[in-house]
Amino acid sequence: MNTLKVFFVVLFITIISINRLDAQSLDFYPMDENFELLQKFYKTDTVLVVFPDSEPILAMDKDAIEKFKFWGEIPFFYYKKESDINSSDLKKNIQFFGPIFKFQKEYSEMPVEKTDHGFLYNTELFNHENDAFYYMNENANRLYMCKNSSKAISSFFSYGVGAYSFYIFRESEIVYSGFTNENLSKEKINDLNHFREIYFQQKTLSFFNLNIAKTLKVDSLFDIASKELDKYVINLCDNLEVDTNNIDEIKLYAYADRIELQKFIAAPLFNTVWGKSVGNVLHTTQLDLSIVKHETAHSIIFQKIGGNLNQFWVEGFRQYTDYWFNKGTYNVDLEITKSNITFLDEELLNGSSKFFNHTENYGISGVFVKYMVDKIGFSEFKKVYSQQDIEEYITEKYEISMDELIAEFKDQL
């Protein structure tokens, strides 16, 4: 009898241990931290970007394509519709951009198949407007960034891609990441939906679908979130002068630690990412409310006002919202701006990736956005922000360059 009891105790402990292991240890195929294929692709003087005849590339996507390479010399980008490609073009490094089903020719080197309104991976269909895939071939001379609609959010740039050779996005989430080739014979694929089922426990609020790591104290964290987050969304919308109707449910993932977060969003550890917002999907380390509110503001601004590809304006607008909730935050940011004003130049204002080189740039961008709101009015700022033409607006209305605007801002400090 005692032996039987011991057996069941050991069995029970083993089952608990396995469950805990499943919740904590996921067998991710590791990333290429050196971005070897991506670096090889851009190691050229010229990149040819090809788009479907019926789907020209938008100016905002061109801007994102050309700013995507964030290291070293930037190649020259030139653009051709598919029907204009000639035999000499095929010798170049080619980036295909646009809905894959609108390209006329078959490209056998892809790991996905074209369908009438999207693409097929294995037996899974991706035909929603916001579905997309990224693929770099093994020779690093063909890059596919193909989203099903030009209206869709560019998940490639929002998450940052290249640490894996292959990604599939459904709406604002990565559903597959990993390495593959054209005939799928060398697949090492992370099934992120499967991993999420293992890793998270779900809870719901009025505006949020919470997914909290099972290894955290789920119930106590939910109690904290339920007292803060819905109220924050209501107050934020009130200050943004928008209503709370038709807000897409915000899917929030709270990870046990930063390393787990970065595995799920495919961010190499030489970066430091505590939180991330893409559309209505938020990723945060644990349930740190300061990070959650930061990323929630990004999501609400995107949903209710619009997106912008310039990181200076994106982060500045979000930082500006902090001033409504804590008046002292502006004074702190103002002192940071005065002490680090040499960081502010036209390159930073134009959305350079060097924005993230200094945490002080968050405060600087917030103070600058407040200066812009005071100058042109909040309604006008929201309009030009969503139209992504702040620079053009300033140049035309005030007949000054961005350099002169910066000088004016510095004088007023």
Per-domain residue ranges of the chain:
36-186, 196-304, 311-412
Using CA atoms in the order 137, 139, 141, 142, what is the torsion angle rounded to 10 degrees?
Answer: -20
Q: How far apart are CA 155 and CA 152, in angstroms?
A: 8
Percentage of the chain modeled with pLDDT above 90: 69
Those residues whose C-beta lies under 8 Å from the C-beta of residue 310, and which sit 6 or more positions away, are: 350, 351, 388, 390
Question: Smallest Cα–Cα separation from 273: which of 160, 171, 143?
Answer: 160
Residue with tokens 């469950």: 19
36-186 adopts what CATH topology? Chitobiase; domain 2 (3.30.379)
Q: How far apart are CA 341 and CA 323, in angstroms?
A: 20
Q: How far apart are CA 408 and CA 365, in angstroms?
A: 15
Query: What pLDDT band is residue 398 in, cutting at 50, 70 and 90?
Result: confident
Q: For 178-244, give the DSSP string.
A: EE--TTSTT-EEEEHHHHHHHHEEEEE-SSEEEEEETTS-HHHHHHHHHHHHHHHHHHHHHHHT--S
Question: pLDDT for 237-285, tens place per residue?
Answer: 999 999 999 898 999 999 999 999 999 999 999 888 999 989 899 999 9
Q: Can you tell me the mean pLDDT for 184-202? A: 92
Task: Specify the pairing of strand 166-170 against strand 132-136.
Answer: antiparallel
Predicted TM-score (pTM) above 0.85: no
- In the prediction, which pLDDT does 25 show? 66
Q: Determine contact, residues 209/252, Cβ cutoff 8 Å.
A: yes
| φ/ψ of residue 310, rounded to 5 | -85, 115
Q: Can you tell me the mean pLDDT for 74-92? A: 93
Q: 196-304: what CATH class?
A: alpha beta
